[in-house]
Amino acid sequence: MGPVTGLRVDGLLVEVPEGASLLDAVRAAGGSLPTLCHDDRLRPAGSCRTCLVRADGRITAACVTPAAPGTDVATAQEDLRALRRDAVELIVSGLPPRALSADCRSELADTCRTMDITPQATASEASKGRDDSHPYVQLDRDLCIACGRCVRMCDDVQGTFALTLTGRGADTVVAPGTGGPWAQSDCVACGGCVDTCPTGAITRPGPGRGITTAQSHPESVRTTCGYCGVGCTLDVVVDGNRVSAVLPALDGPVNQGHACVKGRFAHGYLTSTERLAQPLIRKNGHLEPAGWEEALALVADGLRDAVATGGPDAVAAISSARTTNEENYLVQKFLRTVIGTNNVDNCSRLCHAPSAAGLSAAFGRAGGTDSFDDVEKADCLLVVGANPVEAHPVIGARLLQHALAGASLIVADPREVGLAHHADVHLRPRPGTNVALFHGLAHVLVAEGMTDPDFLRDRATGLPELTELLTRHTPARTAELTGVPAELITAAARLYGRAERPAIVYGLGVTEHLHGTDGVRTLANLAILRGAVGNTGRGYGITPLRGQNNVQGASDMGALPDMLPGYGRVTDPEARSRAEAVWGRTLPAQAGLRIPEMFEAARRGSLRALWIIGEDVCATDPDSRQVVEALDACPLVVVNELFLSETAKHADVVLPVASWLEKEGTFVNFDRRFQRVRTAVRPPAAARTDFDVVHAVAAAMGADLGCRTPAEALSECGRVAPLFAGLSHTRLDREGAVAWPCPAPDRPGEATLYTDAFTTPDGRARLSAAPYLPPGETPDAAYPLLLVTGRRWAHYNSGSMTRRGDNLLLEDRGYLDLHPQDAARHGLHDGSEVTVESRHGRARLTARLSSGLSPGQVFCAFHFPESGVNALTSGHADTVTSCPEYKVTAVRLTDGTARTTP
Ligand code: SF4
């Protein structure tokens, strides 16, 4: 705790942190005041006058009055009570009686009950009307008290600025700033306005209507969001076995009372009639319902046959970034100990494998260098190849608020992503030219003396080689290679180079390239050159925004073909023997197959059994035609799924499993925090957790994997992997979140890495002198446009969960964004159906004109598998990690009516 202020509240001496308000002081003294315009997440407004107190004899609103040392605060005097009651009565006098009805659970209704203000004291029913146009946010204007909390939540927390107050006097009400219905506004349905509204004027429809705090619902379950890698802490309010509402936890370590449309609202899939409720077995070419016993026997027999025919390496598994750590741990343990192969991988192969490889090579560990709480202290943010406002909305909002509060912001992205609107400098490199751009920035840092010589001398290696290479990357040459004007390169480098505490945040726009690992390493060069990494006090390193909820954890748990849990190499006898001692079996010593190699082996006939857990590879992996061919060629394909996904349709056995709201375990978020996942509702019918399914398959093969519960699995993992030795469910239940490395139960997790030394073999950070090499595809006469793929705010990954609920009303199809010039050239307009062709396949999308793209570049997501977007993407992949080059595909547009492939 920092400096404190001492003062008296009703005679009681209290201490509050410097900068606290009198409201904080009253609460610290155990008191409470009505606060209808106040929310701790927002800057105080002091407009409702319901929190009046007397401070040194003067009556003032407690929420906006600083707690000065020695102040004598009175709250309980009769005249103050009367004033506060008058203020509340005045507010409710304009509301209809239902605002205070007995079943109303709003903050206002509770306040009135506490103050004995009854509905009879209110005015008769008014009729300003409703706005029910939006699927998740509904407005009853008659209940609006114009407190402005919703507007400030939208501005100060979410940063969308979608709301305003309109009208005068008693007719003032909240409204979308764009005018018109809410559904057509800029609202991104983060739910912040719903949560903060004190009267029930803004609510969500459905059973959760009016629920704004989890505290009053003892049946709520605290868990971690299962969508993106931000790792928001959510309180799930349940009614029987149904989710009534999902609320962001005010004390969530990452989200701090905020969430996004996915975590907050997209749980309709839980009760979708399309949920798989029993196993399916392929018979005579068709998937037919079966019992678990039959399905498990078929899987076990198929795995045995595969091993008998082709040896252990004829079996492989794709584990899941969607499942828990404990499930990933069990999957890789099954492959390594029961089958005897290292053929296990996870979808980080398709997104952040270059981060793991690049950050390990540069610093020693396969994760970001600093906690996001530290990143938020930076005075300069360099955000590269990421669109967090849409893909990681809570982090996007925190970054935006930090920039609005004064941090300088450099955005490097080909598109005009959300943060770019607020950037000091927006660099728009041609897709595939990142390495050249980072070298250009580094050139300016070196040429203008904006480096840290002491750090480079004492804690880094590789400077001579890099300096030599950088001589060829002048801003002018970089401009030629990247298309970014030289003066912008210099301006960005100076902003980063002259900042006192810069931080780098990046996303898949850095990794999903032919030279993605080089991209990560040469981006890391900037932090090393500045000495802005390694707890130097001169910056906050480099942080990857991990995509899926547990993509960090899946790799941490060893669901990788070359790594055991905790990143011990399978080729390292010491790491192997540590695992062998715990698992009681000799482990294979050669690295297994990566995901693309698994498909290749299946097509070749050497892979005879593939178990895919929670990944829709036919929708999300590149060159999907080849993926389908691989699955069809493999004698046994087993898929664990919630729905009959594109991949499940090609399986021989489909096993129905539980979702993240239906099981126990842990996830690791993007800044390496372990957090608990807890069961809020039961899965449907015969669906089981992946944890139980892996155990059951092992048992069907006569093996016992031990660790009967997820808690036991995490503890066992800690014995295999020293990085996690201090972690347990009990500790996480107690502490909420713990970062790794965490080598002992009595030691805190290391949120900031490399406090003393880097964990490379020589303890030094390594600069990379990787040369710039062109991307795998470039536009030409036949395919003149460059396609970039990414995410949209309303959907997630293959969309299997977000498309089964009302998020579909927010975005109902796959769109192709293109510049108006390109649209005009092709005779397209908003809403035109368009066929996109690459050298690899064809997709059908709906055109959407956007000046946020450069001419010659088009953008789409793959949330709608029927569009066939990944039929377009190529087989080019990062030369180090095999991460696909999703960000660069040469395409052309036709107006044809050809059918979508595959
Ligand atoms: Fe979930 Fe990510 Fe949204 Fe948070 S930002 S609620 S983790 S999807």
10 Å CB burial of residue 473 (0-12, 13-18, 19+) is buried
Residues 435 and 488 in one domain: yes
pLDDT, tens digit, 9 for 90 and up, residues 800-812: 898 988 999 999 9
Distance 225 CA to ligand 1 centre (A): 6
Task: Summarize the confidence of residues 392-397 as an average pLDDT.
Answer: 97
CATH of residue 438: 3.40.228.10
Which helix (H) or strand (E) is 14 found in, with range?
Answer: strand 12-17
Query: How would you label 343-364 residue by residue, b for 16+ Cβ within 10 Å and e otherwise?
Result: bbbbbbbbbbbbbbbbbbbbbb
Per-residue pLDDT, 122? 47
Measure the CA–CA gap between 25 and 312, rounded to whole angstroms.
Answer: 66
Last residue of a domain, one of 492, 525, 544: 544
CATH of residue 54: 3.10.20.740
Whether residue 504 is contained in a domain is answered as: yes
Residue type, 786: L
Residues 359 and 346 in one domain: no
Whether residue 757 is contained in a domain is answered as: no
200's torsion region: left (phi>0), alpha (psi -120 to 50) or beta?
left
Whether residue 337 is contained in a domain is answered as: yes
- Mutating to test ligand 1, I would choose from 223, 225, 235 the residue with most ligand atoms within 8 A of its C-beta, which is 225
Radius of gyration of the chain (CA): 28
State whether the beta carbon of 790 lies less than 6 angstroms from ligand 1.
Answer: no
Distance 661 CA to ligand 1 centre (A): 14
> DSSP string spanning 185-250?
SS----SHHHHH-SSSSEE-SSTTTT---STT-TT-EEEE-SSBTT--EEEEEEETTEEEEEEE-T
Structure tokens belonging to residue 28 = 């610290």
Residues 338 and 367 in one domain: no
Structure tokens belonging to residue 306 = 């595969």
State whether the beta carbon of 229 lies less than 6 angstroms from ligand 1.
Answer: no
Whether residue 789 is contained in a domain is answered as: yes
Q: Give the end-to-end CA distance of the chain in Å, rounded to a whole number.
A: 59
Domain count within the chain: 5
Q: Are strands 737-739 and 842-849 parallel, antiparallel or unpaired?
A: unpaired
SS3 638: strand
Residue type, 339: I
SS3 content of the chain, % helix, strand, coil (to 5): 35, 20, 45
Q: Is the pLDDT of residue 709 over 80?
A: yes
Task: Summarize the confidence of residues 274-295 as an average pLDDT.
Answer: 96
Measure the CA–CA gap between 386 and 510, rounded to whole angstroms.
Answer: 8
User: 741 preceded by cis ω (within 30°)?
Assistant: yes
336 DSSP 8-state letter: I
Task: Summarize the confidence of residues 156-178 as an average pLDDT.
Answer: 93
Query: Which atom from ligand 1 is nearest to the alpha carbon of 393?
Result: 5
- The residue segments making up the domain with residue 194 are 124-268
Query: Which atom from ligand 1 is nearest to the alpha carbon of 226?
Result: 1
Per-residue pLDDT, 37? 95
Measure the CA–CA gap between 164 and 179, rounded to whole angstroms.
Answer: 9
User: At residue 176, what are phi and psi to the nearest 5 degrees?
Assistant: -60, 140
Task: Summarize the confidence of residues 702-718 as an average pLDDT.
Answer: 97
Whether residue 902 is contained in a domain is answered as: no
CATH of residue 888: 2.40.40.20
Which helix (H) or strand (E) is 770 found in, with range?
Answer: none
Q: 133 and 182 in contact (C-beta within 8 Å)?
A: yes
Q: Whose CA is nearest to atom 6 of ligand 1?
A: 263
Residue spans of alpha helices (H) in 566-709: 573-583, 595-604, 617-620, 624-633, 690-700
Measure the CA–CA gap between 474 and 24, rounded to whole angstroms.
Answer: 54
Residues 614 and 711 in one domain: yes
Residues 665 and 805 in one domain: no
Measure the CA–CA gap between 438 and 87, rounded to whole angstroms.
Answer: 58
Mean residue pLDDT across the chain = 94
Q: Is the pLDDT of residue 824 over 80?
A: yes
Residues 506 and 596 in one domain: no
Distance 542 CA to ligand 1 centre (A): 21
Whether residue 438 is contained in a domain is answered as: yes
State whether the beta carbon of 236 lies less than 6 angstroms from ligand 1.
Answer: no
Comparing 371 with 205, the larger pLDDT belongs to: 371
Q: 133 and 110 in contact (C-beta within 8 Å)?
A: no
Q: Is the pLDDT of residue 501 over 60?
A: yes
State whether the beta carbon of 227 lies less than 6 angstroms from ligand 1.
Answer: yes
User: At residue 789, what are phi and psi to the nearest 5 degrees?
Assistant: -110, 155
Q: Is the pLDDT of residue 747 over 90?
A: yes
pLDDT band for position 35 (cuts 50, 70, 90): very high
Per-residue pLDDT, 273? 94
Cα 597 off chain centre by? 28
- Mutating to test ligand 1, I would choose from 258, 261, 262, 322 the residue with most ligand atoms within 8 A of its C-beta, which is 262
Per-residue pLDDT, 213? 62
pLDDT, tens digit, 9 for 90 and up, residues 575-632: 999 999 999 999 999 999 999 999 999 999 999 999 999 999 998 888 889 999 999 9
Is the sign of the CA dihedral 385, 389, 392, 398 positive or negative? Answer: positive
Query: Which atom from ligand 1 is nearest to the alpha carbon of 259?
Result: 6
SS3 per residue for 435-468: HHHHHHHHHHHHHCCCCCHHHHHHHEECHHHHHH
Per-residue pLDDT, 193? 96
Which helix (H) or strand (E) is 592 found in, with range?
Answer: none
Q: Is the pLDDT of residue 123 over 70?
A: no
State whether the beta carbon of 225 lies less than 6 angstroms from ligand 1.
Answer: yes
Q: By C-alpha distance, which of 714, 694, 679, 749 is closest to 557?
A: 714
pLDDT, tens digit, 9 for 90 and up, residues 833-875: 999 999 999 999 999 999 999 999 999 998 888 888 888 988 8
Measure the CA–CA gap between 113 and 442, rounded to whole angstroms.
Answer: 63
Q: By C-alpha distance, which of 688, 652, 686 is closest to 287?
A: 652
Q: Are strands 12-17 and 4-9 parallel, antiparallel or unpaired?
A: antiparallel
Distance 898 CA to ligand 1 centre (A): 37
Measure the CA–CA gap between 63 and 700, rounded to whole angstroms.
Answer: 63
Per-residue pLDDT, 900? 35
Per-residue pLDDT, 826? 94
What is the spatial order of strands in the sheet that 737-739 belongs to?
Answer: 665-668, 673-677, 737-739
Q: Whose CA is nearest to atom 2 of ligand 1?
A: 228
Residues 518 and 585 in one domain: no
pLDDT, tens digit, 9 for 90 and up, residues 619-666: 888 888 999 999 999 999 999 999 999 999 999 999 999 999 999 999
Task: Give me the helix-helix angle, 486-498 and 516-530, nearest 10°.
Answer: 50
State whether the beta carbon of 192 lies less than 6 angstroms from ligand 1.
Answer: no
State whether the beta carbon of 262 lies less than 6 angstroms from ligand 1.
Answer: yes
Q: 202 and 210 in contact (C-beta within 8 Å)?
A: no
Q: 429 and 485 in contact (C-beta within 8 Å)?
A: no
Lowest mean pLDDT among 48-52, 605-609, 828-832, 895-899: 895-899
Per-residue pLDDT, 560? 97
Measure the CA–CA gap between 413 and 431, rounded to whole angstroms.
Answer: 8
State whether the beta carbon of 260 lies less than 6 angstroms from ligand 1.
Answer: yes
Percent of the chain with pLDDT over 70: 97
Per-residue pLDDT, 496? 98
User: At residue 52, what are phi and psi to the nearest 5 degrees?
Assistant: -65, 135
Structure tokens belonging to residue 105 = 């659970």
Q: 371 and 236 in contact (C-beta within 8 Å)?
A: no
Q: Whose CA is nearest to atom 4 of ligand 1?
A: 232
State whether the beta carbon of 545 lies less than 6 angstroms from ligand 1.
Answer: no
Residues 560 and 695 in one domain: yes
Residues 531 and 658 in one domain: no
Measure the CA–CA gap between 334 and 703, rounded to whole angstroms.
Answer: 9
Q: 626 and 595 in contact (C-beta within 8 Å)?
A: no
| Most distant pair of Cα atoms in the chain: their distance | 89
Q: 726 and 745 in contact (C-beta within 8 Å)?
A: yes
Task: Give me the helix-helix angle, 107-114 and 78-92, nearest 10°.
Answer: 140
Last residue of a domain, one of 739, 767, 801: 739
Q: Is the pLDDT of residue 121 over 60?
A: no
State whether the beta carbon of 389 lies less than 6 angstroms from ligand 1.
Answer: no
Task: Summarize the confidence of residues 460-474 as an average pLDDT.
Answer: 98
Residue type, 579: A
Q: 702 and 260 in contact (C-beta within 8 Å)?
A: no
Task: Summarize the confidence of residues 395-414 as an average pLDDT.
Answer: 97
pLDDT band for position 208 (cuts 50, 70, 90): low
Task: Summarize the confidence of residues 710-720 as an average pLDDT.
Answer: 98
Q: Is the pLDDT of residue 211 over 70?
A: no
Whether residue 523 is contained in a domain is answered as: yes
Give the CA dihedral 850, 384, 789, 823, nearest 10 degrees: 20
State whether the beta carbon of 255 lies less than 6 angstroms from ligand 1.
Answer: yes
Measure the CA–CA gap between 805 and 784, rounded to whole angstroms.
Answer: 37
Residues 45 and 10 in one domain: yes
Residue 546 CB contacts under 8 Å (≥ 6 apart), including other chains: 229, 351, 352, 355, 552, 669, 670
Residues 678 and 625 in one domain: yes
Q: Is the pLDDT of residue 901 over 50?
A: no
Query: Which atom from ligand 1 is nearest to the alpha carbon of 392?
Result: 5
Residue 734 CB contacts under 8 Å (≥ 6 apart), including other chains: none
User: At residue 625, what are phi and psi to the nearest 5 degrees?
Assistant: -60, -40
State whether the beta carbon of 394 lies less than 6 angstroms from ligand 1.
Answer: yes
Measure the CA–CA gap between 223 and 252, rounded to whole angstroms.
Answer: 10
Q: Are strands 833-838 and 842-849 parallel, antiparallel or unpaired?
A: antiparallel
Measure the CA–CA gap between 495 and 25, rounded to whole angstroms.
Answer: 40
Q: 53 and 33 in contact (C-beta within 8 Å)?
A: yes
Residue type, 161: F
State whether the beta carbon of 612 lies less than 6 angstroms from ligand 1.
Answer: no
Residue 527 CB contacts under 8 Å (≥ 6 apart), including other chains: 369, 502, 504, 533, 539, 541, 542
Q: How many CA atoms lie within 13 A of 875 on its CB side?
A: 12
Per-residue pLDDT, 898? 36
Q: 215 and 250 in contact (C-beta within 8 Å)?
A: no
CATH of residue 570: 3.40.50.740
Residues 599 and 700 in one domain: yes
Per-residue pLDDT, 218? 65
Last residue of a domain, one of 683, 706, 739: 739
Whether residue 767 is contained in a domain is answered as: no
Percent of the chain with pLDDT over 90: 86
Measure the CA–CA gap between 814 and 848, rounded to whole angstroms.
Answer: 10
pLDDT, tens digit, 9 for 90 and up, residues 376-389: 999 999 999 999 99
Distance 248 CA to ligand 1 centre (A): 10
Measure the CA–CA gap between 723 and 566, rounded to whole angstroms.
Answer: 6
Query: Which atom from ligand 1 is nearest to the alpha carbon of 549?
Result: 7
Per-residue pLDDT, 875? 86
Q: Is the pLDDT of residue 713 over 90?
A: yes
DSSP lists the bridge partners of residue 786 as: 857, 890
Distance 805 CA to ligand 1 centre (A): 16
Q: By C-alpha distance, which of 140, 143, 99 is closest to 121?
A: 99
Q: 530 and 451 in contact (C-beta within 8 Å)?
A: yes
Q: Is the pLDDT of residue 534 over 60?
A: yes
CATH of residue 189: 3.30.70.20
